[in-house]
Structure 1
Amino acid sequence: MSTQNTRTADVIVIGAGIIGTFHAYFAARRGLKVLLLERHDWPTEASTRNFGMITSTIVETDSEWTQFADRTREIYHTIQQQHDITVRQRGSMYVASTAAELQVLREFEQQFGTSYACTLLDAQEALARYPFLRPESCSGLLLFQHDFMVEPRQLLRKLIPYLVETEAIEYIPHTTAVEVAASGQHYQVKDAAGHLFTAEQVFVCSGAEYRTLFPDYFRTSGFQVCKLQMLRTVPQPERLLPHNLLSPMSIRRYPAFAACPSYGLLEPLDEQVRRYGIHLLLKQADDGTIIIGDSHEYFPFEEVSGDHEYTNPEITRLELHYAQQLVDLPNWQIQSMWNGYYLHHPQQMIYARSIDSGIHIATGIAGKGMSTGPGFSQANITAILGS
């Protein structure tokens, strides 16, 4: 690569999703100059297509990732105190519909009630406090007071300009990195337009894009593409859901509950739920709409095709069916539908790999990016750049 007309910095981060933006943030907090490259005007992929639930049960209890989740909430809270990035502490409610599910929630409160700040409500208490719940589907619930919610379509659009203003970060949109290579003692990034950028350290936080940079590494990584489908209703006439609402499916899906003695006694899910990986969640956004989802279909890289861009109407029907079994809404009219994509590994929590001393891949955090990504990013920057 030529060194003419090259923009230089200490660190280059490729990809401005949650993982990329917080890698840039924590590098800049060390006094380093950072270039944050983004192929779109603003991030538009998984970091913006999710519920915006910041939940503590999405990882196992008493693990390294528990620490990342705890640290993530601290990071969000600190930044929100300085600048509005839509972080709200509104809590999460996990609804049980069977005696076995309620027993798991009861055991979780008994074992982790203090550390997770969670409180169990029986059916009578739950229905009195939350009349939108359908009585036949609620045998009780567990309320987590410390969980956050954010507006994912707004968070990065509010955060990135603030970081550019307050930190040594330059945001460079409309920049698709197509090559990263050593250049003397530094590393050079080339974009699709032929522009060059150089730095001592390059972090590749490319989300679900595995075909452009280092495709051979991704091809042999064991990661897969996860496709999800989500819905949004029209605005409701009033605020109905005060918390993130997680269904009985969440008790089975989220790893923290596996620590409960009765977890293995939970009834199996419907075959259709298992086939499409449906995990029912609901959240009311600031505009009054309610987000409903989601599904999880996994595809090896070699099986990904254009057909996976289409929305499956059967999944849409099932998501609405299970949502209507759980809650009553004044208006079930759907305003919009969309797909999301992220990288997932059956065993690994993230794809974090150094190509050499100056090129580092960090992606594949799957569905826990919003809840753990900032905390992981801080730890990863410290591990690579030193304490």
Structure 2
Amino acid sequence: MNGRAMTPGNSGADVVVVGSGIVGLGAAYAAARRGLRVLVVDRTESPVGATIRNFGHLCIGAQSGEARRYADASRDLWLRLSRDAGFWLRESGTLVAARNDEEIAVLAAAANDDDGIRMLEAEELLRYAPLRPGAILGGAHIETDLQTDPRAAAEAIVRHLAALGVEFRFRTAVTGLGAGRVDTSRGAITAGHVVVAVNHDLDQLLPEVAERNGIVRCALDMMRAAVSVPRPLAAPLLTGWSLVRYGRFAGTPQADRLRERLHAERPDLAALDLNQMYTQLPDGTLIIGDSHASAVQPAPFQPEVAFSAFLAEAEALFDMPAPRVVERWQGVYAKGPTEFLIERGDQGALVLAATTGIGMTTGLGLAEENLAAAFGWAPAMEGTS
């Protein structure tokens, strides 16, 4: 396994993971399943970043290329973890509501490859989603996708990994990396291997890596609302604004035409860089969002215009009275010119990040595949927790 074994009692581990977001948890899970001693270090008290500030939408079937490979691997790991760690996850797929001919054309082109996308007539879609009958022309069902509650899932995964023997050192800041060593605010830790998975805080720990790879932060506005609907939403729901973002759809000629129409008709929503989508949690509340703004350090101030637009668009699409807002928050994730950052740092640490907004979808597979490749690990045995 090429890991340097640590003797009991040492302040160290075979694998030290910096960061307890989904990529860091995936790295710890990959190492623990191979019987290695694992230590996770995080400056916060629990996972509080992008891993808990999202829709809980595991959007596997809308990915392509490398992202689809990681997403497929992640799907298997999510199913295993939900069973073993005991958190809510459903194999719901994803619904897409199409409101114009251009959106239908994007979906039809994707469905033609016969890879898990099924077109829906408007009447069928209305059986799965409480939408206004006159608001849609039709839609589709992306069959492979999953949904979870990100806040509950992250906490459950931490507990499960701790039960597997992974040590967590929360409220501990990493101050530097050396050969076989991680320096922290609570002392040095010896390490056989080091994995850095700190997402958008990469520039605080390894600024030269962040700058070399063009990593900035993407801030998003999101909200959760109490709603009164005639029936639950059977799966996460995407719209045309989602189709011009996700890899499987976004690069097609049909998506180019859709993008032109959306931007011409609603420049106000285009200015928000909107991804109009929805997920409904087990308690019935609806997560609504989201906007996007990129900068090295985005302002923490959230303009009300974004939230007003979210609510107006939700009321126009769903057959329901005005939602009652329960929570608002700002999500932040690492953004770069490519979908992933995979690099060996100057001190030999493996640096991993999903550098678009698909970390929950791809993070477990990203960690599993790249730790195995970098450290020369054999596949984990089937049936290993």
**Does the TM-score normalized on the shorter chain lie above 0.5?**
yes
The number of aligned residues is 365
Whether 1:190 and 2:174 are equivalent positions in the alignment is no
Q: CA separation in 1, counterparts of 2:57 and 2:303? A: 24
Q: CA separation in 2, counterparts of 1:16 and 1:131? A: 34
Counting only pairs closer than 5 Å after superposition, residues 149-188 of structure 1 correspond to structure 2 as: 149-166=147-164, 168-182=165-179, 187-188=180-181
What secondary structure is seen at the aligned counterpart in 2 of 1:200? strand
Q: Which of 275, 300, 309 is the equivalent residue of 2:300?
A: 309
Q: Which of 330, 337, 342 is the equivalent residue of 1:352?
A: 342
Q: Please give the per-residue CA displacement for 1:345-367, whole angstroms capped at 9, x wherever unaligned.
A: 1x311122111463121124321
CA contact (8 A) 1:36 1:170 kept: yes
Specify the alignment match of 1:328 in structure 2.
319
Whether 1:271 and 2:267 are equivalent positions in the alignment is yes
Specify the alignment match of 1:111 in structure 2.
113
CA contact (8 A) 1:235 1:287 kept: no
Quickly say closer, same or farther: Cα 1:8–1:126, change in 2 above 3 A. closer
1:37 aligned partner, one-letter code: V
Q: Please give the per-residue CA displacement for 1:216-244, whole angstroms capped at 9, x wherever unaligned.
A: 22123212210000011126477521110
Q: CA separation in 2, counterparts of 1:103 and 1:212? A: 44
2:198 aligned partner, one-letter code: S
Whether 1:381 and 2:371 are equivalent positions in the alignment is yes
Specify the alignment match of 2:55 in structure 1.
51
CA contact (8 A) 1:350 1:365 kept: yes
Q: What TM-score, normalized to structure 2?
A: 0.89
CA contact (8 A) 2:227 2:324 kept: no
Q: What TM-score, normalized to structure 1?
A: 0.89
Where does structure 2 lack aligned partners over 5 or more consecutive residues? Answer: 1-8, 378-385
Specify the alignment match of 2:22 in structure 1.
18
Q: Provide the alpha-carbon RMSD of the alignment.
A: 2.0
1:319 aligned partner, one-letter code: F
Deviation at 1:278, TM superposition (A): 1.0
Q: CA separation in 1, counterparts of 2:229 and 2:315? A: 18
Where does structure 1 lack aligned partners over 5 or more consecutive residues? Answer: none
Specify the alignment match of 1:242 in structure 2.
234
Q: CA separation in 1, counterparts of 2:212 and 2:66? A: 26
Specify the alignment match of 1:293 in structure 2.
289
CA contact (8 A) 1:43 1:156 kept: yes
CA contact (8 A) 1:237 1:288 kept: no
Q: CA separation in 2, counterparts of 1:336 and 1:131? A: 23
Q: CA separation in 2, counterparts of 1:178 and 1:140? A: 53
CA contact (8 A) 2:130 2:231 kept: no
Q: CA separation in 2, counterparts of 1:374 and 1:10? A: 19
Whether 1:216 and 2:214 are equivalent positions in the alignment is no
Q: Which of 115, 131, 134 is the equivalent residue of 2:132?
A: 134
Q: CA separation in 2, counterparts of 1:230 and 1:343? A: 17
CA contact (8 A) 1:239 1:288 kept: no
CA contact (8 A) 2:60 2:75 kept: no
Whether 1:73 and 2:69 are equivalent positions in the alignment is no
CA contact (8 A) 2:334 2:354 kept: yes
